[in-house]
Chain A
């Protein structure tokens, strides 16, 4: 397997007032071009930290990330991020939000007309062409997340990083967006890393599911290949034996092998992997 993206011995220590906290240890992962990979684990296990390191928003204290033979040192549009809370600029319309990204990435290579077409094309891809000129306040949470995805896709990233993209949405909207995402992935063949809490979502969407152990010193516990042929249909899959087995394996990992120990420790910024303000 030729890896597009490689994480080798990634470790992360955070300095906290109570001394050093090891969030991640020895994370090794190779991801092939066009692959859809989910990261799953209990909250506080460092999934977001992994994603932020790949994004370049955090710098690992050990090891490193290589994308297409180049080490990741800073954030960039070739590793576009879809944030959990959409993070659209509230004073811009959907069109303008996507346009900001497109202008930034393609201002030297595309003409003004091409830029406009490309923005519209990406909004059509996520089925948001009808509300292009609305501001984030005027559209629903699901629609905002669609625009967030359009913005990320419009950068033509080598890897699309999604941080619990559908976590804040209701179940029906989530299902719609999952179907859209599968459609887009089939169409564009983008490499995707997605963080999720949702076992069904992980199995439905992924080629591989990366299951993380509980922190501190969290690392990859198991990796599951989901050998369900595409295109996948959520209704047909409900009784599919492979799907059901995969689902069980993830559940077993989460609730038997890595059962969260109560009482839950108080989460700090460091443990949830939140990126702090740049100085």
Chain B
């Protein structure tokens, strides 16, 4: 049976629409709507106030209004670029058709459109890069974490290394990764660019650790009672891991994955700046190098977008966690 109900957080709005709002619901409304809106408003005011007092070599620091304007510019630039692209392909098709008419044995040559990536293209690149790096890291960290959690010997052997590499900043890894990628990834017809690989590996190296540690802890803390059940049932080592250990460790594992994805996104921006991978990081860097009067406003747009995407990625992981993890209490926030 399916019943349509409002999610609990929507209840106060429904009540507001019908005009019957209880005391608790007023409080919920204030908490969900009023205080956040006031907070953001206050922040905008402070920002505006402070921005007017900062003069940089690139002009005045952008306030909310200028940033909003630049956001509009970025959107329209994107639209113009798309129009140019469409026009380019139309022209090419017409040209080919015309030439084929005159010269039927001619082999047509098609060319790709080569306009500079727009802000939105760069967001796409960043998302692909961060997800690749995150997936690679998870593929390494989860199995390794399970092994570390299961064996105190492996734990003792690996732990010093983990503690040593965990705090390393992406900036320290990057030159090494760049050189290794350049040396090993040699191909005449590369599938992906070197800058993509460099950024991806740097992201992986930096975001590996929370998943690794949390998986290991999750595996170690499997309840003694459940282990006893497994022993009485004489589950073999593989079934024991599959049926008892993995499901028990799943909530912790997800906590680690969420932390890892957060770190991955943060690291990515720095990695892209230095590796010149055509993503948001490069956008920020290019604008900084460009140094026009609009640059700071455009960078500020990027900052806000980076924050929003990071937030959305976290929510996405949380939704995934809620869908997959049996322990609903572990996925509350």
Contacts and interface: CB of A to CB of B under 8 A. Distances in A.
Given A90-B327, A91-B247, A135-B326, A83 B228 contact: yes
B231 A278 contact: yes
A62 to B, nearest CB: 22
Contact of A87 (B152, B226, B247): B226
B242 to A, nearest CB: 11
A154 to B, nearest CB: 11
Given A89-B244, A89-B247, A104 B235 contact: yes
Contacts of B228: 57, 75, 81, 83, 87, 275
B1 interface: no
Interface string A150-171: 0000010000000000000000
A91 B226 CA distance: 12
B229 interface: yes
B232 A55 contact: yes
Interface in A98-138: 100-101, 104-105, 135
Contacts of A79: 232
Interface residues of B, number: 20
A12 interface: no
B232 A75 contact: yes
B233 A101 contact: yes
A76 interface: yes
Nearest to A157: B232
B234 interface: yes
Nearest to A83: B225
Interface residues of A, number: 28
A79 B229 CA distance: 12
A89 B227 contact: no
Nearest to B329: A137
A81 B229 CA distance: 8
B331 to A, nearest CB: 13
B326 A90 contact: yes
Which of B152, B231, B250 has the largest count of A CB atoms less than 10 A from its CB? Answer: B231
Contact of B229 (A83, A91, A279): A83
Nearest to A90: B326
Interface of B: 152, 223-229, 231-235, 239, 243-244, 247, 250, 326-327
Interface of A: 55-57, 74-77, 79-81, 83, 85, 87, 89-91, 100-101, 104-105, 135, 155, 274-279
Given A89-B226, A89-B243, 16 more contacts: A55-B232, A56-B231, A57-B231, A57-B232, A75-B231, A75-B234, A76-B234, A77-B232, A77-B234, A83-B229, A87-B229, A91-B247, A100-B243, A104-B233, A104-B239, A105-B233
13 contacts: A75-B231, A75-B232, A77-B232, A77-B234, A81-B232, A83-B228, A87-B228, A90-B327, A104-B239, A105-B233, A155-B233, A275-B228, A277-B224
